[in-house]
Structure 1
């Protein structure tokens, strides 16, 4: 029996979620269809541009993404603090970037006086829109509906484009966030369509590396420019390894450590790739007490190791009990998230 999305996504339990969506009948979302000879590569840009636009409107940050030929992965962070402290004006301004809004909201924005009934209606609208601005379900709805319409229009057809509603995994601790981000960023290398992080097109790790190059003033490979937007496009959620738990404002690791680990992992997940794994362990594996073999298994099979929840076993059981489930997947294979 299908579980209600509101039970699977609980921002109070964890703000981090891994979401995946796949095309119906495994049809080509992007890339090149070798059977028909048609290229859909440009659609990758549609998805990345829309993800970044929606992140700038919603109180949701993008930690990692990978756009593949018939599916895509996202690691998202719900920014509860920003959502809770939005002013009525900010809520309306954000919501009307995507939807038509309401005449009462338009009157409020222009400074017109509202009667008591209009004020009550406005308060209910703002409360509803504010809640939705922190909703991954609404984020995904806005993303998938537009991409489906554009793709169907381009293909000259109608009907269902996505296989079903998106799948989600709750990431309960920083080890789970790290393992999932690594799994997402290494998708093209694991699939054999890229042989380095720099050539892993339409992934967050490539974008982060290009950002580092641009900061140093070095030339980067030309990419299609993002779709123009009146919004200030929000960057990927930054790494913030120096932050304390009480003042966390980004991904709880240093980018240099993440880069060291993903390079080490990428060399191992491609069995056909020449080279060797340096005998010195990446700093993050040592700090988190994760075994090498367990980590590599997680980097290759994260989706299969876990169902809707990933993290320490006790935390997984507690969240499963909270949403009404009876069992968890991952105890025997979750070594990567348990210290030696």
Structure 2
């Protein structure tokens, strides 16, 4: 971001950390409107990490009206003087569906990574430049995208991103690492637990208020305005997420991809497992010592078939998720074949192997 801390404290000592909330709110809107799933993110003072998956296959099932509604939610046609989007009437939306060629373009763009990042970046640029009373590029360059080839790569990258504030020493625990996926999941879980306690005490209205304040629709926790939750792990339309436990409900209530959808059926992982994984790893990062391994860490990693020592090498290191792609040896071999290459280089300590002959 202009080689500066434009979401933290700027060169003049002015605190503009409220812009991190802009980014988080924009990500939430995009996750609910575009054909994409957000599994994790970390908004730092001078850069941004997002773990997402584009779902262009979903757009084919949307009606023309649904495409227009989603497009206008991201790219409003009108704004008030303070920048607040003006919600169009249903009549206006229906009139816009008359241009079938334009609707087809919007349908394609709603499932396109480049347009998704454009929607995220341009909104922040416009608002920040207006606030700074300047013009020009807010972001230093285009985004970098690294494919995550399997569930092991996905979960490890999510944790790596969630731990970024702790690694950078701007937070001590996932609970205090604001503007991250882990913090959002914890926030939603705490709200769900508080609401459940109020319901048990007979205070239904109080429970509704808690959920509303947390931005949770208590009657639609299995899917937000963006439609069915993730099928990242092969759970079509949320099937397989019928558990009534509080943590599972909290997992489905968030606008983020449910943790249960981020792993294959053979390696179950709950929201509590994931947060334990992040918390335990965060304590090791904070101490700077990997000699004492928390007892709860190894069993979770074993379920994911991940080596503890390599996990810590990865989480304690920097610039781990770079290169052409990240994943296990077999996944990289398949990706190399898909690209017509002999090999896809690995740069992540978690997946260190010898090259194929």
Which TM-score tier does this pair reach, normalised by the shorter chain? 0.7 to 0.9
Partner of 1:186: 163
RMSD: 3.6
1:237 aligns with 2:215: no
Gaps of 5+ in 1: 1-22, 115-121
SS in 2 for 1:166: coil
1:206 aligns with 2:183: yes
Quickly say closer, same or farther: Cα 1:305–1:111, change in 2 above 3 A.
closer
Quickly say closer, same or farther: Cα 1:225–1:175, change in 2 above 3 A.
closer
1:63 aligns with 2:39: yes
1:83 aligns with 2:83: no
1:155 aligns with 2:132: yes
Bigger RCO of structures 1 and 2 (CA < 8 A, at least 6 apart): 1
- How many residues were matched structurally? 292
Give 1:140 shift.
0.6
Partner of 1:177: 154
Contact 1:264 1:282 (8 Å CA) reproduced: no
Q: Counterparts in 2 of 1:1-340, with a 5 A limit?
A: 23-25=1-3, 27-33=4-10, 36-99=12-75, 109-110=94-95, 122-217=99-194, 232=225, 235-240=255-260, 253-271=269-287, 277-301=293-317, 303-304=319-320, 306-323=322-339, 328-330=344-346, 333-335=349-351
Question: Structure 1, residues 74-128: CA drift from partner, whole Å, max 9, x if none?
Answer: 1112234532311222112212223468xxx97881599x7xxxxxxx4433322
Give 1:39 shift.
0.5
Give 1:264 shift.
1.6
Moved more, 256-265 or 202-211: 256-265
Give 1:205 shift.
0.6
Moved more, 278-287 or 139-148: 278-287
Give 1:71 shift.
0.4
Contact 1:313 1:331 (8 Å CA) reproduced: no
